[in-house]
Chain A
Amino acid sequence: MNGSTAPGVSAQPLLELRGVTKVYGQGQAAFPALRGIDLAIQGGEMVAVMGPSGSGKSTVMNILGCLDVPTEGSYTFRAAHVETMSRRQRALLRRHYLGFVFQGFNLLARTSALENVELPLLYRGEPLRRRREAAAAALASVGLTGWETHAPSELSGGQQQRVAIARAIVTNPALLLADEPTGNLDTQRSREIMDLLAALNRDRGITVLLVTHEQEMARYATRVVHFVDGLVESDHQNGGPH
């Protein structure tokens, strides 16, 4: 693993938002989703983003995930200015540094777990043998050894989300973005998923950023950021069950 497990130590943050605003629509219909956000996240942190719907937490996740660009302000990822990047450059950045986990799992239907997990490696142009090995290893690290050939429809919700996590970490990303990863799961499965994310953060040093509206799930994070009405309302370190 890459060793930088201690949060808040490195001088340069992994990512930093400065004066970020995001306005949807134009003129009369203009709606400000973010109204000036400053946020820095160090490598190795596990940050929970919370807030009511409409607070801008999804918007900030889209920007941090390089899926969207701010209307104003700057977003630096590893000192690179994302807000000036083209669509193609952002796609390449996502390909090399980011992993995504979604609420609805978003696995390819009728496609085996192994093939789902190796998908990001395909876009990276890895050779077949390396893809197979890495995908099998990623599935093993989420505890799904022996389920490689199963299609999503043959797996439970918890298992599907674990396949999705395996897909997100198979490329060894610097940042893992999880948008309500436990939103579709019962409490027991939710805890298992959160344990898994916390373990990946702790053991492999992957920075994890997750959106949740459940207090219990936020307790797994090392830091909790609250959003209200497009602004950061509170931002504090968390003892958590670590």
Chain B
Amino acid sequence: MLWNSLLLAVRAIRRNVLRSCLTILGIVIGVSAVIVMMTLGDGATQSIKDQISSLGSNTLHVRPGQRMGPGRETTRPPNFKLQDAEAMASQIASVAAVVPAAGSTATVVYQAENWSTSVTGTTSAYFTVGSWRLVAGRFFNDAEERAGKAVCVIGQTVRKELFGTRNPVGEEIRVKRFGCEVIGLLRAKGGSLGPDPDDAVIMPLRTVQRRVTGNDDVTGIQVAVRDGASTAKTVESITALMRERRKIGDTENDNFSVFDTKQIAETLSGTIGVMTMLLSAVAAISLLVGGIGIMNIMLVSVTERTREIGVRLAIGALEQEVLLQFLIEAVALASFGGLVGLVVANIVSVAAAKAIQVPFMFNLQVNILSFCFSALIGVVFGYFPARRAAQLDPIDALRYE
């Protein structure tokens, strides 16, 4: 009986292709909207997670000034000095490594090519704490650091702009008015949110202080927290130490900030998760509207096919056979819509993921769930019209004009 009803339903759908296509359009749009939202949300979350792991584990960032927002300082807060970093390393037990950095934006030149990038002066621990890897060459060593040698390690974006595909190691680039030997090439980190991490030229701290910024300021300090130590406690210790060193009175606010990048990234990915849920919920409403569309068309179809139903009943179709036929028709339409929706959604997702630069994450669960949901919509919204068809009186139905 099921097989026969299926056959009858397929024949009925085939008899009116255009209307069937229009009927499923709502479901197609609903299903694809849900899947696209979920897939892109997953991609964005994944992209943030990738960035978290590329930041290295348990790293704190200490910067002069409070973070953005209303009530921002009117006077520029003072930068740090190298001694601040040394004090953290020597006085706070839970600190594994302290990386001072001084940076500025500068134009770098190689032969006819030039490129404006961020030039960062730091210590060799920078590479360990930031989980950087080399593609070619080497990092600078302690001796070069102390001597303030004109050597640098460059990121992939800088390499692409200045050298194209050539190997930059051993070449000399000009930064401001001095020449600087490229000794290493970093592996790309990528990431789509925030500034490009690969657009960087890294040199010994002293070199930058002397030749680029012209002072002995440190504009930021990265602190790696020892494994197993409490990040929150370390933040407290750093804050206390810095307040003391910067001579901030008890009633005054901090003129620096310590933040946990990982925590920020996690908050951000949580926010994206909530956004994804909201957008998916809106998309799910469109799926519901699609279901109502199916019910509407099925009701019209039952009215239009009243005589046909009369004939079926007269020649001996049972009530439940007519019910099943119309129900299967609705479910078949809805599932077919769901299937088309899946295909459309994944094509759109791949394109959209590329456009907004997040990884395309095929989510099998979401796909299966959306498909099942569309079939369920067929059952729910197909039942009422199907019951109406099944309960027709054959005599009245045959007489229907």
Are the chains A and B members of one assembly? yes
User: Is B318's CB within 8 Å of the partner chain A?
Assistant: yes
Interface residues of A in 84-112 (CB under 8 A from B): 87-88, 91-96, 98-100, 102, 104, 106, 108-111
* Contact A67-B316, Cβ < 8 Å, known A110-B16, A122-B8: no
A94, B15: Cβ atoms closer than 8 Å: no
Cβ-neighbour of A106 out of B1, B7, B310, B316 (below 8 A):
B310
Measured in the bound complex, the distance between the Cα atoms of B395 and A100 in whole Å is: 12
The answer to whether B240 has its CB under 8 Å from any CB of chain A is: no
What string of 1s and 0s marks CB contacts (under 8 Å) between B318-356 and chain A?
A: 110100000000000000000000000000000000000
Give the shortest distance, in Å, between B289 (CB) and chain A (any CB).
Answer: 29
Task: Verify if A202 is at the interface (C-beta below 8 Å from B).
Answer: no
Q: How far is the CA of A92 from the CA of B8 in the complex (A)?
A: 19
Bound Cα distance A90, B8 (Å): 22
Taking a contact as CB atoms closer than 8 A, the residue among B4, B308, B310 that contacts A122 in the complex is: B4
A106 to B310, CA, bound (A): 9
Which listed residue (A91, A92, A111) contacts B15, Cβ 8 A?
Answer: A111
B320 to chain A, nearest CB (A): 9
Known contacts A91-B319, A92-B318, A100-B314; decide if A115 and B394 are in contact (CB<8 Å): no
Residues of B within 8 A of A68 (CB): 395
Kindly provide the distance from the CB of B392 to the nearest chain A CB, expressed in whole angstroms. Answer: 11
Check A120 for interface membership: any CB of B closer than 8 A. yes
Known contacts A111-B11, A125-B4: A92-B316 contact under CB 8 Å? yes
Assembly CA distance A21 to B324 (angstroms): 35
Interface of chain A residues 56 through 99 with chain B (CB within 8 A): 62, 65, 67-68, 87-88, 91-96, 98-99
Q: For chain A, give the interface size range.
A: 20 to 34
Pairwise interchain contact B312-A119, C-beta atoms closer than 8 A:
yes
Residues of B within 8 A of A120 (CB): 315-316
Q: Which residue of chain B has its CB nearest to the CB of A62?
A: B395
B299 at the interface (CB under 8 A from A): no
Asked whether A95 lies within 8 Å of B316 as measured between CB atoms, the reply is yes
User: Among the listed B1, B311, B398, which residue makes an inter-chain contact with A108, where contact means beta carbons less than 8 Å apart?
Assistant: B311
Residues on A with C-beta less than 8 A from B278 are none
- In the assembled complex, which residues on chain B have CB atoms less than 8 Å from the CB atom of A110? 15-16
CA distance A143 to B319 in the complex (A): 33
Determine the distance from Cα of A167 to Cα of B315 in the docked complex, in whole angstroms.
Answer: 9
Give every chain A residue within 8 A of B4 (Cβ-Cβ). 122-123, 125
Q: Which residues of A contact B7 (CB under 8 A)?
A: 122
Chain B residues whose C-beta falls within 8 Å of the C-beta of A167 in the assembled complex: 315
Tell me the bound Cα distance from A106 to B312 in angstroms.
Answer: 10
Q: Is B313 an interface residue (CB 8 A)?
A: yes
Give chain B's interface residues, CB within 8 Å of chain A: 1, 4, 7-8, 11, 15-16, 307-308, 310-319, 321, 394-395, 398
The 7 closest A-B pairs by CB, nearest first: A95-B316, A110-B15, A94-B316, A120-B315, A106-B311, A100-B314, A67-B394
What would be 15 A-B contacts, judged by CB atoms less than 8 Å apart? Answer: A65-B314, A88-B318, A94-B314, A94-B315, A95-B317, A98-B316, A104-B307, A106-B310, A106-B311, A110-B16, A111-B15, A115-B11, A119-B312, A122-B8, A124-B316
